[in-house]
Structure 1
Amino acid sequence: MTGLLGPAEIRELAARLGVAPTKKLGQNFVHDPNTVRRIVTAAGLTPDDVALEVGPGLGSLTLGLLPIAGHVHAVEIDPVLAGALPETAARYASADADRLTVHRADALRVAAAELADPPPTALVANLPYNVAVPVVLHLLAVLPTLRHGLVMVQKEVADRLVAGPGSKVYGIPSVKLAWYAQARGAGRVPPNVFWPVPNVDSGLVAFTCHEPPRSDVPRERVFAVVDAAFAQRRKTLRAALAGWAGSADRAAAALTAAGVDPGARGESLTVEQFAAIAASAPAGTPAAK
């Protein structure tokens, strides 16, 4: 893996483009080649993989992905950065630059049709902190071709994404990611590998996609149960799901039918149990908005 960007190259490129990282877009650019190598290695890519990178920024990770993956889709919302990325690839990874397709788009709104040639199989990204969880969940929902991935997010968010039932940080992100994939922590990343230096650590989350826990209940219905259960996480499920089910008694009936104790709390349930509750909901139970 050659031609990676170090601190000097990052600063020079940013100055030439007139770019300064913005908090609004959650931009923190990686300037440490060893961190890029670590991410690419941990992602477990093969030449058969089509990588999807969100928020490539100045291209640090992009340059690490190009020699490994069969193709790289880079989705960048900043028009200046999106416009400059092909030139950066040509300059630092000329032998592999033709494997790159840059999409000037918002990852929260991107659709499968925009990434269909070829369809992505792996999500590998240093995600903007402010939209990390919504981006991951949106892409998993709209891109059924994704098989695995590795994302770098704020360490606190990483802990939530990989948490299991019973953990203090287990919550909505944990359950919703578990609907799509099995996730695990893949290490910590210190602040000093970024420009600007964030005031928090980052964490790597690796995941492997699987079939949904149940095929007889829509994802939206399951997620509505999850949202309701954790909106008032200190309440029992009988109380927390009363609004979702229409009343506490109807919630208790759905819970009992699903084999779940109405006195339990959402933080103790697996994604399979949330799906069972959704499948047992009485007729007329509100669906996800």
Structure 2
Amino acid sequence: MPDTSAPRLLGPAEVRELAARLDLRPTKQRGQNFVIDPNTVRRIVRESGVVEGEVVLEVGPGLGSLTLALLEVGAEVTAVEVDPVLAGELPTTIQAFAPGQAERFRVVLADALAVTEIPGPPPHALVANLPYNVSVPVLLHLMALLPSLKHGLVMVQAEVADRLAAPPGSKTYGVPSAKAAWYADVRRAGAIGRNVFWPAPNVDSGLVAWTHRPPPTDQVGREAVFAVIDAAFAHRRKALRGALRELAGSADASEAALRAAGIDPLTRGEALGIDQFVAIAVALQETSEAAR
């Protein structure tokens, strides 16, 4: 008869024991800071809103701390891990700490930034402790790749969490905020201290929750809108008339498109929301077509 008992979670002793057995030396290059506090991973899962039976994509599972907490609530977990040693050990850890849930777990050895598909059933949620150095590119890549994702919660560097969830006009608003808004409604969901990690990072962490929403337009593609966002923030202190000059072909064409979109050409990119960036992209497309 299969063991259906609840998973045991990893604490400081278990994490260090696993690391010692694997001769693991966490590297800054891969952003390896492992959570050693069961209450923290339970909190992440609780804040994520994941429910029993949901298919969850986890990026960078490491030694399995968060994975076990996801299995504890009855989720089915697909974990993407770039480190072959960690990926190879995860099934053994899951079998040892959650034998009754092992059939609901699979690991994929891959770089999350480079994956083009995720095997198994389409994931509904993304829950992850993302490596600090690639957190925004990974999040945006997976949001674009997997339309099946409906919600998620990621733990990232506190400063990155502020930028992802920042509203237009705030000091931390920028490219990550604007691009994330194409895919989802994003909000800050709390802070995480340094002492729940081994090794302890030099920065605080933050939780970012998001809920999928349909693309804000079907008149132009995401790439065209993102090109406008990139140009608008390439020179933060420039008015949009000048910042979009190269993209539009000239300052006059930039101004014409901005006026057609109902935006003052002297406005800066940091003042605009995703719908206004969409309006500019549409206007640029229309003025380009009219000029042919």
Contact 2:48 2:152 in 1 (8 A): yes
Partner of 1:275: 278
Supply the distance in 2 between the matched residues of 1:258 and 1:209 (Cα, whole angstroms): 26
| Aligned pairs (5 A) from 1:129-140 | 129-140=132-143
Instruction: Label 1:174 to 1:69 Cα distance change in 2 as closer, same or farther (>3 A).
Output: farther
Q: 1:57 aligns with which of 36, 40, 62?
A: 62
Shift, 1:76, TM fit: 0.2
Match of 2:53 in 1: 48
1:94 to 90, 96, 99: 99
CA distance in 2 between counterparts of 1:241 and 1:147 reads 33
2:7–2:99 CA contact under 8 A, matched in 1: no
Match of 1:234 in 2: 237
2:125 to 119, 122, 125: 122
- Determine the structure 2 residue equivalent to 1:222: 225
Asked if the contact 1:51–1:69 (Cα under 8 Å) also holds between the matched residues in 2, the reply is no
Aligned to 1:251: 254
2:17 equivalent to 1:12 = yes
Query: How far 1:48 moved relative to its partner?
Result: 3.4
For residue 27 of structure 2, the aligned residue among 10, 22, 28 is 22
> Per-residue deviation at 1:69?
4.2
8 Å Cα contact 1:229-1:240 kept in structure 2? yes
CA distance in 1 between partners of 2:235 and 2:147 (Å): 32
User: 1:238-289: CA deviations, max 9, x gaps?
Assistant: 000001111111111111111111010000001000011001103279xxxx
Residue 164 of structure 1 is matched in structure 2 by 167
Q: 1:284 to 1:234 in 2, by over 3 A?
A: farther
**Structure 1 residues without counterparts, runs of 5 or longer:** none
The amino acid of 1:245's aligned partner reads: A
**Hey, what's the Cα distance between the residues in 1 that align with 2:165 and 2:134?**
17
After TM superposition, the score normalised by the length of structure 2 is 0.95
Q: Which residue type is aligned with residue 24 of structure 1?
A: Q
Alignment length, in residue pairs? Answer: 283
Secondary structure of 1:206's counterpart equals: strand
What is the Cα deviation at residue 74 of structure 1? 0.2
Equivalence for 2:179: 176
Aligned-residue identity in percent:
63
TM-score (norm 1): 0.96
- Looking at structure 1, the residues matched to 204 and 149 of structure 2 have their Cα atoms a distance apart, in angstroms, of 27
Amino acid at match of 2:169: G
- Give the match for residue 190 of structure 2: 187
Contact persistence 2:228–2:280 (CA under 8 A) = yes
Say which SS state the counterpart of residue 66 (structure 2) adopts: helix
State the alpha-carbon separation in 1 of the partners of residues 217 and 157 from structure 2.
30
* 1:67 match: 72
Structure 1 residues 189-245: Cα deviation after superposition (integer angstroms, max 9, x where no partner):
000100110111000000000001111110000000000000001100000000111
SS in structure 1 at match of 2:77: strand
* Aligned-partner Cα distance in 2 for 1:102–1:8: 24
* Residues 284 and 31 of structure 1, relative CA distance in 2, 3 Å threshold: farther
**1:153 matched residue in structure 2:** 156
Q: Deviations over 1:124-181 (max 9, x none)?
A: 0000000000000000000000000000000000000000011001000000000000
